[in-house]
Every structure is written in structure tokens, then in C-alpha cells.
Amino acid sequence: MSFPPGFLDDIRNRVSLIGLVGRRVQLKQRSRGDYWGLSPFTNEKTPSFHVREDKGDFHCFATGEHGDHFTWIMKMEGIGFPEAVERLAGEAGLDMPERTPEQRERDNKRAGLTDVAGIAATWYQKQLQGPAGREARDYLQQRGLQDMTIRAFGLGFAPEDGGAFAKAMKDQEIETDLLIEAGLLRRSDRGGSPYAMFRNRILFPIADKRGRSIAFGGRFMGDSKAAGVGKYINSPDTPLFDKSRVLYNRHNAQQPAYDGQPLVVVEGYLDVIALAEAGHAAAVAPLGTALTEGHLEDLWRLVDEPVLCLDGDEAGQRAAMRAAERALPLLQPGKSLRFVFLPAGEDPDTLVRSQGLSAFSALIDAASPLDKVLWDKEWSVSPVDTPERKASLERRLHEIAGRISEETVRKQYHRQFNDRLWQAFRRPSGSRGKPFPGRRDDRGRYKQATYSEPPTDTLPTMRLVLPRRTQQIVLAILSNHPQLLPDYVETIDRITFDDDLDKLRQALQNLALSDSELDAEAVNNHFAGSDVETALAAVRDRRVYAMDLSARPGASAEKAKQGLDDIVRIRSQEALQNELRSSAGGLGSDHDKNHRGIVALHKVYSAGETVSFPDEQDG
């Protein structure tokens, strides 16, 4: 909708920008018409947010955000320009400009449908509290929902008798055609009377950005398969409701998101409600569809980096990649996504009820950025142990970056992927160490981390054959202290593992190459639902811990490292002794010579020094 320039100027002249901004930001006047305060867009201690009443604009020097009255309302309330104009026109005491007949007809129809949806929501709420809603109330209580939560989210119940709803709406003198257009009644394919869209279902009202009911989601009470119906259904698309653009609980989430709570996108109504009940109100959910471009644009109106909270199984991985692919062409400087993959068998509802909000918040704080999720996905496609496979990975990553429309962001993705590839595959000249990806100094620049190994022409070339329990101890230490992985990648390459444990070894090495910020919880999350989860559980067994205290998760990193070094040193010495004994026949019975060799290798391994072995001519 277009507005006459004079009308917008009238609003600006009648509404004080200082008064408007001052409702959210404490402003101090420095000179006539010149005000400063702490930025509402970031955390800061020194005021960098500037408002000029005389020019009617604001500017944040910390983030670059700027604009006028309408921009401020759009950013603070997450609404579009027409809604911001209508909102400020009301404050200014101005009537909205005359609309065309078509606009008036469309707006009147929307207003009528909104009224109908509101009346229906009230009726459904009464049914939940009445005799017909007893089973539904019991179910909600079993799910842990408190009465105040049920009321706050306006939950209702649609009885099995669909005729009761139609009669109630008729008593309210609401026309059948209007109920059909609102998605509350459906026409019969068999020529019968229209019937209720929702029957025997708990109903979750879906609201617009202003909190008005515009649609419903319904959970079937009973065996949905036996009844031949979907367990969850949503209202059909209507003039009010477009599921590709609407997010459940968006109107409640916007203020806490503006106030700094991470905006989390979860999968279902009850996840949203459980998080709100636990204290995390900035949560939304798509409605029966994957995230669309419309959803992403709306999320970015609220925050720069919403967090997608997904199951850790294959379905969750697929959902993450669909969202990533949708987001790539839309990325802008500062606008991206982060991802959290929940442990197997958990969703936000069960997690906060069993472990509390702090466990959920810890996962959100450790959410992975979009570029890392893309890297991890491509890294896991196939081994990258040949030049051709490395080239394939490089090509796929550059194709991904090429799908980004915005030039600056596209260049940064190319640079980031190139850095990761270089760190993963290239060996700096003049250095014996191998680079480890993702390590950064305090300025955010990559720095080289090298694996500290004994000289490669002596002990490290030997294969180590360990008993199964010792293999489990090694992997228990590394899985509980994954920060040690970069220094032991080559060491564990020399160990011969049983088949099932070898898969876990490979998975840990791949994880070390793709993630710089690892802890035991990150290992849990990464392997949850994977084909190595069973092997991981087997090495983290109390019987394994009983064999070596350094394998326990509570052991210090120093103790864990010492335990691993002891295992490798002792087993290496044993292997060397066996090798020397086997060659003793060719060297004669000079055991002193063999002993000196063992001592020399022990020095190499324990002190890292290079020694010379006596040749056969030495006495």
C-alpha cells in the first residue's frame, strides 16, 4: 500500500522520535535536539546510539542501524511498513488515507475473518474446560503443562461432534461461507452439508504479529492411524493464513528476542510451549512445512542469527541442509543461521523437563554457525584421502559458496572454505607438523597447530597391537577429552583397532579435523544417532573406567594425557622388545646391544630427543 508523502510527514511531525525511542532506550541530551544512549541492537557500556529530534532520525554507530520513526517501529516490533504507518497514525491521531474500493473490500474481508477466528478460538477454549475436554485436559497435564500456561497460549478443544461447532457459530449469526473461507468448515465432496475442519483435537491458536487468532493447529486425541487421519493438522491457507510465511508464537517471541534471548526455531507447538514455561520465551515453530524464504526473512527481521534446534538423527540433518540451502541465496552481511542438534531421543520439551533450562541454554550457546554445518556435511560425504577426493570436496564447497548472491558474503565463504581446506590438507614448508583446522589466535586469525610426535624415522613407524580393553581405554580418554585429539591423530593411526572400534577411531579423527572447539558434550551431540554411538557407549563403560582412572570424564586433561602417553610408551617398548628379540638370531646373542637399543628408544619416546644407534661394528 502506498501513502501520500504529506501523510507520512504529518506523522513524523506529530510523534516525537525522542519519546518513541525513549520507551526502550534511556537517552541523555548532550545538546539541543541531540540525544545519546546505549545501543538497543548490541551489548555495550559506552553510549554509541544517537537520536536527533530535529532531523527525525537515529543512528547506531556500533551496528550501523539507522532510520526514522517507521524504521524504529519496524525493527522494535518486527512488523512491516504498512503496519508501522497504521500504528504511528493511531498515536498521531490521524485517520489512515482513503483506500480504493478494492482495498476496502479486501481489508473488510480480512477484518471479518479475523473476528470469526477470534470467536472460534473463544468457543474452543470453553470446550477444553468443559466436560467434552476432560481427556484433552488430562493429556496436557500429563505433558506437564500448567493451567496458567494453557490459558496463556489459548489452548482449546474441538469435540468429536462437529455439528456442535457449526451450531454454535450459527447461533452467533456467522455465515457458513465465512466459516469456510476462514478454514473452520469444509465443503463435503459428496454434496452434503459443510463439516467442521477440527474434530476430537486439542487446538493451538495460531496468531498474527499482533496476537490475533488467524488459524489453528490441531492434535488428534486417539489413534490417528486407526481413524485414518493425520495426528497433527493445520488450518488450510486462507486470506489470513499463509503457512509459508507464518511462524507459531511469533507475536510472543519478538519482545524477548529483542531483549536479547536467542531466537530458537523448534519443530512443534509443545516444544515452543515447554520452553516458554521453562523461561525461554523466544521460540517459534514452522507450521507443517520446512522453513521457507518467507520464514527466514521474517526471522531476520527479529534477530541477525536465529538458532535452528533440530533432532540429531538423519531427519534432523536433512532438515538442516534444506534450511541451509534455502538460506544461502538470501544471506546478507550479519544475517545468518546457527544450528543445534539435540541428543538422540530428545526434543526441547523432554530436554527442559528432564534436565532443566540450563542444559538447553548450554546447547544454544554452543550452536554451530552455518559455514561449519556446511563444511561438516561435505566432509562426511566420503573419505578425503586421495587427491581426487580432496578435489571433489573442494569443488563441492566452492559450488556451495557460489550460490550466495551477496558478493561480500560470497567472498567470505570462499575464503573461509579455502582456509579450512588449507588447514586440513596442506603441510607448511620447513615444518614437520601437520596443520589442524579451526585454531585461531586472539585476533581471530588461523594459527598453525602441530602434532608433537617423536621422530618419524624411529618409533612412530611401528604398529601397536593392543588388547581390546586397552583399545577401549585409549578411545575413552580421547572421547572424554577430545581437546587432546589434535596432538594424537597420528599416534592412534599406528594402533590396530578392532573393526567396530576402528570406526569410532576414524569418526573421532574426522571430528577433530572439522571442529576446533571440542568437549565431551560436543562428541555426544555429534555422534548421537550415528553408527558409532554404540561403540562410543561401550568405551565409556564403568568397567573401562575401572581399568584406568585417566579414562574417566572427571579426570583432568593433564591426567588424561599422561595416561595416554603411558599406554603408548609402554606398548611401544613392548613392541620394540619383541621386534629385537625376533631379530636376535641374526645379531648373535649380544643382549647388551639389544638392551642399549631399547634404552635409546625409551629416551626418544620419553624425552623427544634424537639418538644414534650403535652399529654392528661397535663393541
Q: Are 405 and 356 in contact (CB under 8 A)?
A: no
Q: Are 573 and 462 in contact (CB under 8 A)?
A: no
Q: Is residue 438 part of a domain?
A: no
Same domain, 420 and 296: yes
Question: In the prediction, which pLDDT does 104 show?
Answer: 65
Alpha-carbon span 435 to 486, nearest angstrom: 9
| CB-count burial class (<10 Å; 0-12, 13-18, 19+) for 344 | middle
Residue with cell 546457527: 338
The pTM of this model reads: 0.60
Alpha-carbon span 342 to 311, nearest angstrom: 5
pLDDT at 601 exceeding the cut of 90: no
In the predicted model, what is the mean pLDDT of residues 242-255?
A: 92
* Averaged pLDDT of the chain: 82
Q: Is residue 362 part of a domain?
A: yes
The percent of residues above 70 in pLDDT, for the chain, comes to 83
Alpha-carbon span 205 to 169, nearest angstrom: 17
pLDDT band at 509; cut points 50, 70, 90: confident
Q: Is residue 127 part of a domain?
A: yes
Same domain, 80 and 109: no
Q: Are 613 and 597 in contact (CB under 8 A)?
A: yes
What are the pLDDT digits (tens) for 260-297? 899 999 999 999 999 999 999 999 999 988 899 999 98
Among 402, 426, 450, the domain boundary falls at 426
CATH of the domain at 61: 3.90.580.10
In the predicted model, what is the mean pLDDT of residues 185-200?
A: 89
Say which residue, 196 or 15, is predicted with more confidence. Answer: 196
Same domain, 153 and 73: no
Grid coordinates given for 222? 486417539
pLDDT at 574 exceeding the cut of 80: no
Question: In the prediction, which pLDDT does 108 show?
Answer: 66
Question: In the prediction, which pLDDT does 301 show?
Answer: 82
Q: Is residue 449 part of a domain?
A: no
CATH of the domain at 267: 3.40.1360.10
Grid coordinates given for 234? 493445520
What are the pLDDT digits (tens) for 389-435? 988 999 999 999 999 999 999 999 998 998 888 788 754 433 333 33
In the predicted model, what is the mean pLDDT of residues 49-54?
A: 85
Residue with cell 585417566: 550
Of 2-6, 430-434, 488-492, 494-498, give the lowest mean pLDDT range: 430-434
Question: In the prediction, which pLDDT does 584 show?
Answer: 54
Question: In the prediction, which pLDDT does 307 show?
Answer: 97
In the predicted model, what is the mean pLDDT of residues 157-173?
A: 92
Same domain, 418 and 529: no
Outline where 553-613 has alpha helix (H). 557-582, 584-587, 591-607
Q: Are 466 and 494 in contact (CB under 8 A)?
A: no
Question: In the prediction, which pLDDT does 548 show?
Answer: 87
Q: Find the angle CA(94)-CA(95)-CA(97) to the nearest 5 degrees.
A: 120
**Phi, psi (degrees; rounded to nearest 5) at 142:** -65, -30
In the predicted model, what is the mean pLDDT of residues 577-606?
A: 49
Question: In the prediction, which pLDDT does 583 show?
Answer: 54
Q: Are 437 and 421 in contact (CB under 8 A)?
A: no
Same domain, 71 and 119: no
**Phi, psi (degrees; rounded to nearest 5) at 156:** -140, -175
Grid coordinates given for 534? 554404540
Q: Are 447 and 544 in contact (CB under 8 A)?
A: no
Of 56-60, 372-376, 578-582, give the lowest mean pLDDT range: 578-582
Q: How far is CA 282 from CA 27, 276, 294, 364, 462, in A?
A: 26, 8, 19, 12, 55
Nearest to residue 1, comparing CAs of 109, 115, 104?
Answer: 104
Same domain, 286 and 204: no
pLDDT band at 507; cut points 50, 70, 90: confident
What are the pLDDT digits (tens) for 229-246? 999 999 999 989 999 999
In the predicted model, what is the mean pLDDT of residues 305-309?
A: 96
Say which residue, 142 or 82, is predicted with more confidence. Answer: 142
Q: Is residue 556 part of a domain?
A: yes
Grid coordinates given for 393? 570436496
Same domain, 226 and 344: no
Same domain, 111 and 78: no
Alpha-carbon span 598 to 574, nearest angstrom: 9
Grid coordinates given for 82? 504498512
pLDDT at 516 exceeding the cut of 80: no
144 dihedral zone (left: phi>0; alpha: psi -120 to 50; beta): left
At 140, is the secondary structure helix, strand, or coil?
A: helix
**Phi, psi (degrees; rounded to nearest 5) at 196:** -70, 135
Q: Which residues pair with 85 in a beta bridge?
A: none
**Residue range of the domain that includes 531:** 459-607
Q: Is residue 446 part of a domain?
A: no
Question: In the prediction, which pLDDT does 221 show?
Answer: 94
What are the pLDDT digits (tens) for 345-391? 889 999 999 999 999 999 999 999 999 999 999 998 888 888 899 88
Question: In the prediction, which pLDDT does 527 show?
Answer: 82
Of 194-198, 225-229, 529-533, 611-615, give the lowest mean pLDDT range: 611-615
Same domain, 24 and 126: no
Grid coordinates given for 307? 538458532
Of 36-50, 195-209, 257-271, 442-456, give the lowest mean pLDDT range: 442-456
Same domain, 115 and 68: no
Question: In the prediction, which pLDDT does 590 show?
Answer: 45
Nearest to residue 472, comparing CAs of 509, 511, 507, 502?
Answer: 502
pLDDT at 543 exceeding the cut of 50: yes
What are the pLDDT digits (tens) for 69-107? 999 988 888 788 888 888 898 888 888 877 666 666 666
Among 35, 70, 92, the domain boundary falls at 92
Say which residue, 202 or 481, is predicted with more confidence. Answer: 202
Among 92, 125, 158, the domain boundary falls at 92
Report how many domains make up the chain. Answer: 4
Q: How far is CA 49 from CA 129, 133, 588, in A?
A: 49, 52, 85
Per-range mean pLDDT, top range of 424-433, 492-501, 542-551 = 542-551
What are the pLDDT digits (tens) for 20-50? 998 889 998 887 668 899 998 888 888 999 9
Q: Is residue 329 part of a domain?
A: yes
Which helix (H) or strand (E) element contains residue 273?
helix 269-278
Same domain, 383 and 262: yes
Which helix (H) or strand (E) element contains residue 521?
helix 520-527
Q: Is residue 553 part of a domain?
A: yes
Alpha-carbon span 336 to 386, nearest angstrom: 33
Same domain, 498 and 378: no
Question: In the prediction, which pLDDT does 105 show?
Answer: 64
pLDDT at 464 exceeding the cut of 90: no
Q: Find the angle CA(74)-CA(80)-CA(82) to the nearest 5 degrees.
A: 110
pLDDT band at 618; cut points 50, 70, 90: very low
